[in-house]
Chains A and B, each alone.
Chain A
Amino acid sequence: MNARLDSFSYDDAIVRKFLFATIIFGLVGMLVGLIIAVQLAYPAANFGPIFAFGRLRPLHTNAVVFAFAGNAWFCGAYYATQRLLKTRMWSDKLSNFHFWGWQAIIVAAAITLPLGYTQAKEYAELEWPIDVAILIVWVAFAVNYFVTLTKRRERHIYVAIWFFIASIITVAVLHIFNNLAIPVGPLKSYSIYAGVQDAFMQWWYGHNAVAFFLTTPFLGLMYYFLPKAADRPVFSYKLSILHFWSLVFLYIWAGPHHLHYTALPDWASTLGMVFSVMLIAPSWGGMINGLLTLRGAWHKVVEEPVLKFFVLAVTAYGMSTFEGPVLSIKTVNGLAHYTDWIIAHVHTGALGWNGFLTFGMIYWLAPRLFQAPLFSKKLAETHFWVSTFGILLYVASIYSAGITQGLMWRAFDETGRLQFPDFIETTMRLMPMYWVRVAGGTLYLAGTVIFIYNIVMTWKRRPAAYDVPVVTAAPLDLSTPEPHAPAGTGVYARFVGLGWHRRWEGMPLFFSVMVLVAVAVASLFEIIPTFLIKSNVPTIASVKPYTPLELAGRDLYIREGCFNCHSQMIRPFRFETERYGDYSKPGESVYDHPFLWGSRRIGPDLAREGGKYPALWHVRHMENPRSISPKSIMPSYPFLLTNRTDFDGIQKRVDAMAMLGVPYGDAINHANQMARDQAALVAADIEKNGGPAGLADKEITALVAYLERLGTDIRQPAATAAAPAATAAATTPAPLKAGGN
């Protein structure tokens, strides 16, 4: 042993910064969540283009995932990592760059999302300049983190660090490959993937954003803060190893379970399902290691609110990671997909696991970081019970809503007709449950307000200047052999003796490479066949690119966030084809950059909306949905009837699509004129049928042209739509005909 000791101090200022960011953005994210919950129950709460559900919903998800949970992870990770490695972060400058960069990204998201700038991919909505910024900040975070690992004074890295490493690496990989896009303007881009492949990449990303942003980092936090708060050793080191590696390797495969019964090929769907089912045990390994660590400390749970929060968090984790695999079973998913059941599932995880783990962690950290006793333990207890009751109300009502709607969608009467053919009837049945959700969300938010008050009051008691304790530790000494010699002699005995893993723990960079290999191998096994097997997406000759005007309309559909409430993917079930028309084929979305299949049906599916209603119906419906369907909960879009279409911007969009391989042919040269010509035809039809005049240069016309095109190509004989130039005329018969019967 080296006799010399290093003296150093930990950077707790950065932890305090992340702590404040966590509570501020937690409040914002939950408040937006409450607003959109009210909007669903009370559509008059949608205001104008900016404060409508379609634009606020991504703001809610991004705020709670990346701002609240993200800052909570960084807060805990900066605190725990320095202590677990017995070293200060390598660069305070990079730590601060990470902090301020991340907050700037959040502010950019909070501005651009309500303004309608979105890539239309769930949890990856942010447009390309912000994506580049995320990458830069992430690289700064990673460099700082990995160099810190090499500067450690603790020879081996603890399980919490394994989880942080896996999260940092995998989030980078997911972020880069799902966000590849061609920029069209400063805040507009098209995904380089289309249709089936884009859907696959999105849910490979989407599912693993849940895994590597909300699960593995929080397991890392649990492994540090739970044993610390309980003052008990971790239950089982062996369990840590097996559940860590199995979780990291298996999670990556599970994404396709978000796409069961869609146009994704069966083999991918099956892989997604079986790997999700195999995830039960690895997930529960974390829960068991957490709960069993509390053996002999349960009396402390009674007294200590921090532990109460941890127990509920870990239990919620166990429940939602059992439910996830159940939902991934194809037949169960057939009922649950597109319904509120999924919303209930994610909220068990988000409110219970992420929220409560964060609250418990901050209650534990606050007295240590602010060097003053917690303002009120009693208030923390109150927070616990108020928010727990809030979760119960939220989850119980939204489960009921999901299962109710799922069953109503598929109900047939004795004559074989849909029992509830009017979609709105299934929506109305949910209204009482939507109000209960509002009540549950209000309670949860009230708990958060109590929490913030408690933390701020604790902060107010801080000393005039924080005491910065000097820590001493021996420098890292790698000259001695590994203390754990491999047990036994045979290969099996060596393997289960885990000496090899102990050596890996002493080589953090090698460990990180092994994590990257596990994640990359698992990803490539699914990604390569998805892109290379031609039979995945049988081509349909009559499917043609959108006309320039329809493309502009599609971008309006994206801007308004229509995909947040309307799917464009009819599944092969009789109850779906009776309601919406023939099921969607993979070949139908080959020009969809990005795909817009959606994941939730708050309103009906639109995959075959084209030709269902006359153009005038859409105009009146967009202007005020309740004039057509009195009980509709859809926001009104009257501004589409007055906003001018950006015809001059259309050429750039068509060119970008052409660059991605969409066969635009002639449209490449005069997209603008083609769009104007088609708009004049649509507007004339609207006017002829008694609608308002002068809509040719208004956005509504582009949107209606897009909606009237949806799902109609497959009905056209291939020959009639031979040249893309002819597509405008050939594929928009509905608006050109009389709008009545």
Chain B
Amino acid sequence: MTKAGDDRPIMDHEYDGIKEYDNPMPRWWLLLFLVTILLVPVYYFAPGDIGHGAKKEAMYQKEMAAFKAAHPDAGGGTVTPEQMAAIVADKAEVEKGKALFAVNCVSCHRADGGGLIGPNLTDDYWIHGGTPVEIHTTIDQGVLAKGMPNWGKILKPDQINSLTAYVVSLHGSNPANPKAPDGVLVAATPAAAASAPAAAPAKTP
């Protein structure tokens, strides 16, 4: 850096008392400028994924492919009626599901499951099937056209299981002021229907 002693005022430069020195530009500053200019071609022609050549959409496809390779079984969990029956019968699962329901579901299905924006979950009517496996599928994959999110992308598989157990446990709880029935009447209780999944109109989106 230029030392103070090097300062040479420029003779005819004086504006309202302000003078200017003829100091050279600091060398490190010029070097910094040069480096940032040289970075332009470096960035433009850089090979691999670090430069301009890494187009954002191609990078996204790469990221998705890498994820699929690392998680080949990603996607909704599959469950058998037998597995679901065991989960639904487990009191601990119901309790875990209750906590998850309070966080994720009450804004549309109401705290007591009586229905608000989404349907009543306590009556005998089901739009997408009332067996534990069907309820599991509805939660896991959602009904996007109707505003039911695909929770399988958000919650973990065991959380979907717990939620299913809790929803099944709500049946027949008869909350006050429930939403009007919607869907198809399923005569048997969901627990009983679990043994005969084909009985309900299995319509999943």
Known contacts A617-B108, A740-B117, A740-B119; is A237 also within 8 Å of B64 by CB?
A: no
Q: Is A20 an interface residue (CB 8 A)?
A: no
Q: Which of A154, A240, A281 contacts B32 (CB 8 A)?
A: A281
Q: Let me know if B148 and A236 touch, CB within 8 A.
A: no
Q: Is B154 an interface residue (CB 8 A)?
A: yes
Q: Let me know if A617 and B60 touch, CB within 8 A.
A: no
Q: Which of A196-204, A375-383, A523-531, A608-616 contacts B (4 or more CB under 8 A)?
A: A608-616
Smallest CB gap from A277: residue in B: B36
Q: Let me know if B36 and A278 touch, CB within 8 A.
A: yes
Q: Let me know if B25 and A236 touch, CB within 8 A.
A: yes
Q: Is B90 an interface residue (CB 8 A)?
A: no
Q: Is B185 an interface residue (CB 8 A)?
A: no
Q: Which of A83, A288, A571, A734 contacts B147 (CB 8 A)?
A: A734
Q: Which of A138-146, A207-215, A411-419, A722-730 contacts B (4 or more CB under 8 A)?
A: A411-419
Q: Let me know if B67 and A574 touch, CB within 8 A.
A: yes
Q: Is B18 an interface residue (CB 8 A)?
A: yes
Q: Let me know if B148 and A741 touch, CB within 8 A.
A: yes
Q: Is B59 an interface residue (CB 8 A)?
A: yes
Q: Is A463 an interface residue (CB 8 A)?
A: no
Query: What sequence of 0s and 1s flags, for each residue 235-246 of chain A, a beta carbon within 8 Å of any chain B beta carbon?
Result: 111111010001
Q: Let me know if A739 and B64 touch, CB within 8 A.
A: no
Q: Which of B19-43 contact A (CB under 8 A)?
A: 19-26, 29-30, 32-33, 36-37, 39-40, 43
Q: Is A692 an interface residue (CB 8 A)?
A: no
Q: Let me know if B23 and A235 touch, CB within 8 A.
A: yes
Q: Let me know if B56 and A572 touch, CB within 8 A.
A: yes
Q: Let me know if A233 and B43 touch, CB within 8 A.
A: no
Report whether over half of chain B's contact residues are helix, strand or loop; otherwise say mixed. mixed
Q: Is A227 an interface residue (CB 8 A)?
A: yes
The smallest C-beta distance from A225 to any residue of chain B, in angstroms, reads 10
Q: Which of B106-143 contact A (CB under 8 A)?
A: 107-108, 115-119, 127-128, 138, 143
Q: Is A64 an interface residue (CB 8 A)?
A: no
Which among B23, B103, B154 has the highest number of chain A CB atoms within 10 Å? B23
Smallest CB gap from B120: residue in A: A740
Known contacts A277-B39, A483-B12; is A616 also within 8 Å of B7 by CB?
A: no
Q: Let me know if B56 and A261 touch, CB within 8 A.
A: yes
Q: Is B70 an interface residue (CB 8 A)?
A: yes
Known contacts A278-B37, A417-B154, A690-B116; is A233 also within 8 Å of B146 by CB?
A: no
Q: Let me know if B147 and A613 touch, CB within 8 A.
A: yes
Q: Let me know if A236 and B117 touch, CB within 8 A.
A: no
Q: Is B4 an interface residue (CB 8 A)?
A: yes
Q: Is B144 an interface residue (CB 8 A)?
A: yes
Q: Let me know if B39 and A741 touch, CB within 8 A.
A: no
Query: What sequence of 0s and 1s flags, for each residue 626-637 of chain A, a beta carbon within 8 Å of any chain B beta carbon?
Result: 011100000000
* Complex CA distance for A583 and B108, rounded to whole angstroms: 27
Q: Let me know if A741 and B138 touch, CB within 8 A.
A: yes
Known contacts A236-B23, A242-B25; is A281 also within 8 Å of B71 by CB?
A: no
| Interchain pairs with CB closer than 8 A, number | 188
Q: Let me know if B55 and A738 touch, CB within 8 A.
A: no
Q: Let me know if B146 and A737 touch, CB within 8 A.
A: yes
Q: Is B145 an interface residue (CB 8 A)?
A: yes
A interface residues, tally (CB under 8 Å): 74
Query: What sequence of 0s and 1s flags, for each residue 212-252 of chain A, a beta carbon within 8 Å of any chain B beta carbon?
Result: 00000000000010011000011111111010001000000
Q: Let me know if B25 and A237 touch, CB within 8 A.
A: no
The interface residues of chain A lying within 8 Å CB-to-CB of B127 are: 738, 740-741
Q: Is A84 an interface residue (CB 8 A)?
A: yes
* Complex CA distance for A235 and B64, rounded to whole angstroms: 54
The interface residues of chain A lying within 8 Å CB-to-CB of B33 are: 246, 278, 280-282
Q: Which of B32-81 contact A (CB under 8 A)?
A: 32-33, 36-37, 39-40, 43-44, 52, 55-57, 59-60, 63-64, 67, 70-71, 74
Q: Let me know if B23 and A238 touch, CB within 8 A.
A: yes
Query: What sequence of 0s and 1s flags, for each residue 251-277 of chain A, a beta carbon within 8 Å of any chain B beta carbon?
Result: 000000000010000110110011001
Known contacts A266-B52, A281-B29, A483-B12; is A737 also within 8 Å of B154 by CB?
A: no
The interface residues of chain A lying within 8 Å CB-to-CB of B91 are: none
The interface residues of chain B lying within 8 Å CB-to-CB of A288 are: 26, 29
The interface residues of chain B lying within 8 Å CB-to-CB of A738 are: 127, 146, 182
The interface residues of chain A lying within 8 Å CB-to-CB of B157 are: 415
* Complex CA distance for A360 and B29, rounded to whole angstroms: 27
Known contacts A233-B18, A239-B25, A483-B12; is A741 also within 8 Å of B143 by CB?
A: yes
Smallest CB gap from B71: residue in A: A416
B interface residues, tally (CB under 8 Å): 68
The smallest C-beta distance from A324 to any residue of chain B, in angstroms, reads 13
Q: Is A66 an interface residue (CB 8 A)?
A: no
Q: Which of B22, B26, B104, B154 contacts A418 (CB 8 A)?
A: B154
The interface residues of chain B lying within 8 Å CB-to-CB of A270 are: 43-44, 52
The interface residues of chain A lying within 8 Å CB-to-CB of B71 are: 415-416
Q: Let me know if B22 and A238 touch, CB within 8 A.
A: yes
Smallest CB gap from A281: residue in B: B33
The interface residues of chain B lying within 8 Å CB-to-CB of A280 are: 32-33, 36
* Complex CA distance for A211 and B63, rounded to whole angstroms: 36
Smallest CB gap from B55: residue in A: A266
The smallest C-beta distance from A22 to any residue of chain B, in angstroms, reads 21
Q: Let me know if A274 and B39 touch, CB within 8 A.
A: yes
The interface residues of chain A lying within 8 Å CB-to-CB of B143 are: 741
Q: Is A7 an interface residue (CB 8 A)?
A: no
Q: Which of A448-468 contact B (CB under 8 A)?
A: none
The smallest C-beta distance from B23 to any residue of chain A, in angstroms, reads 4
* Complex CA distance for A433 and B184, rounded to whole angstroms: 50
Q: Which of A578, A629, A741 contacts B153 (CB 8 A)?
A: A578
The interface residues of chain B lying within 8 Å CB-to-CB of A154 are: 15
Q: Let me know if A239 and B23 touch, CB within 8 A.
A: yes
Q: Let me know if A740 and B115 touch, CB within 8 A.
A: yes
The interface residues of chain B lying within 8 Å CB-to-CB of A78 are: none
Q: Let me know if A234 and B19 touch, CB within 8 A.
A: yes
Q: Is B179 an interface residue (CB 8 A)?
A: yes
The smallest C-beta distance from B45 to any residue of chain A, in angstroms, reads 12
The interface residues of chain A lying within 8 Å CB-to-CB of B9 are: 233
* Complex CA distance for A620 and B29, rounded to whole angstroms: 58
Q: Is A296 an interface residue (CB 8 A)?
A: yes
Q: Is A689 an interface residue (CB 8 A)?
A: yes
The interface residues of chain A lying within 8 Å CB-to-CB of B154 are: 417-418, 421-422
* Complex CA distance for A616 and B7, rounded to whole angstroms: 74
Query: What sequence of 0s and 1s flags, for each residue 270-309 of chain A, a beta carbon within 8 Å of any chain B beta carbon?
Result: 1001100110111011001000000110000000000000
Q: Which of B63, B64, B147 contacts A617 (CB 8 A)?
A: B147
* Complex CA distance for A733 and B56, rounded to whole angstroms: 32
The interface residues of chain A lying within 8 Å CB-to-CB of B108 are: 617, 628
Q: Is A573 an interface residue (CB 8 A)?
A: yes
Q: Which of B29, B60, B179, B180 contacts A285 (CB 8 A)?
A: B29
Known contacts A578-B153, A611-B145, A629-B107; is A573 also within 8 Å of B60 by CB?
A: yes
Smallest CB gap from A273: residue in B: B43
Q: Which of B144-201 contact A (CB under 8 A)?
A: 144-149, 153-157, 179-180, 182
Q: Let me know if A741 and B55 touch, CB within 8 A.
A: no
Q: Let me know if B52 and A240 touch, CB within 8 A.
A: no
Known contacts A266-B55, A278-B40, A417-B156; is A234 also within 8 Å of B179 by CB?
A: no
Q: Let me know if B22 and A237 touch, CB within 8 A.
A: yes
Q: Is B99 an interface residue (CB 8 A)?
A: no
The interface residues of chain B lying within 8 Å CB-to-CB of A227 are: 18-19
Q: Is A158 an interface residue (CB 8 A)?
A: yes
Smallest CB gap from B18: residue in A: A227
The 3 A-B pairs of least Cβ separation, nearest first, read A281-B33, A572-B60, A233-B19
21 example contacts (A-B, Cβ-Cβ < 8 A) are as follows A158-B15, A233-B7, A233-B18, A234-B19, A235-B23, A246-B33, A281-B36, A284-B32, A288-B26, A288-B29, A296-B4, A417-B153, A418-B153, A483-B11, A572-B56, A572-B59, A612-B149, A617-B147, A738-B127, A739-B147, A741-B147
B interface residues, Cβ below 8 angstroms from A? 4, 7, 9-13, 15-26, 29-30, 32-33, 36-37, 39-40, 43-44, 52, 55-57, 59-60, 63-64, 67, 70-71, 74, 103-104, 107-108, 115-119, 127-128, 138, 143-149, 153-157, 179-180, 182
